[in-house]
Amino acid sequence: MDQKHIRWISSALSILVLFWIVPVILGNKDIMINSFICGAVGCLMNWYLFSVQVGGSRPSNIVNVFSKTRRGFRGNNEWFARVDSSHGKVNYHHINVNSRITGVPDPHISLPGWETGLATIIARFLKCIQNNVVLVTLLLLIAIFLKHKNNQPKEGWYREMLSIGVGGFSSSWLGGKIGTFIFPGIGTLVGTIYGGVIGGGVVGTLYHFCF
């Protein structure tokens, strides 16, 4: 089974999980707040670790994702992955991957036109989130306040917030790793948020079931 088929299967499974968990999240206000909190945690992780750029220094650059934790030879943020149009000997749209950072091979992953266009739209959305990180942080604090207001004794609130925090961070990290495998760069950032949302819903459900 080649990488293209593995990517499609992984994407399909991610969508199936989403359809399974969304009704659970929307059916319970407290779990919905948990999912929002963990999704916001994923957004803040993305803001801390990566920057997104639509376009680039070369005409072939469509989307660039840079790592904020790694520096290039000139001291600037090192590129993590990018979506490129055809150039040189590569006559198709593709993903370029920095294998030293991602741990993913760089075989110039071929992309159809619609997937390239979708990546551009998602990149603009992710860029908007990063540009409004203060608003994301404010909404996160409001959600935490609502949890505190609606919750039982303080001991229960502390315990639940600790569970949500650990679960949200872990699921965001795992989601980012899976996203990197499916679509290095854009998939990494989407997976981090997606993992947080799903993780928040799952942890919230398990917490209420156990306690």
User: Could you tell me if residue 138 is inside a domain?
Assistant: yes
User: Could you tell me if residue 36 is inside a domain?
Assistant: yes
User: Could you tell me if residue 161 is inside a domain?
Assistant: yes
User: Could you tell me if residue 74 is inside a domain?
Assistant: no
Amino acid sitting at position 17: V
Amino acid sitting at position 110: S
Q: What is the pLDDT of residue 1?
A: 43
User: Could you tell me if residue 33 is inside a domain?
Assistant: yes
User: Could you tell me if residue 178 is inside a domain?
Assistant: yes
- Each residue's pLDDT, cut to its tens digit, for the chain (211 residues) gives 445 545 555 555 556 555 556 655 666 777 788 888 999 999 999 999 999 999 877 888 899 999 998 877 777 888 899 998 887 778 888 888 888 887 777 667 788 888 888 889 999 999 999 999 999 999 999 988 887 776 666 667 778 888 888 888 999 999 998 888 888 889 899 999 989 988 887 887 777 677 6
- Please write the tens of the pLDDT for every residue from 124-152: 999 999 999 999 999 999 988 887 776 66
Q: Is 65 exposed, middle or buried (0-12, 13-18, 19+ CB in 10 A)?
A: buried
Can you spell out the DSSP letters for 148-189? Answer: HHHSSSHHHHHHHHHHHHHHHHHHHHHHHHHHHHHSTTHHHH
Structural domain count, the chain: 1
Query: Range of 153's domain?
Result: 3-49+113-210
User: Could you tell me if residue 55 is inside a domain?
Assistant: no
pTM of the predicted protein model? 0.83
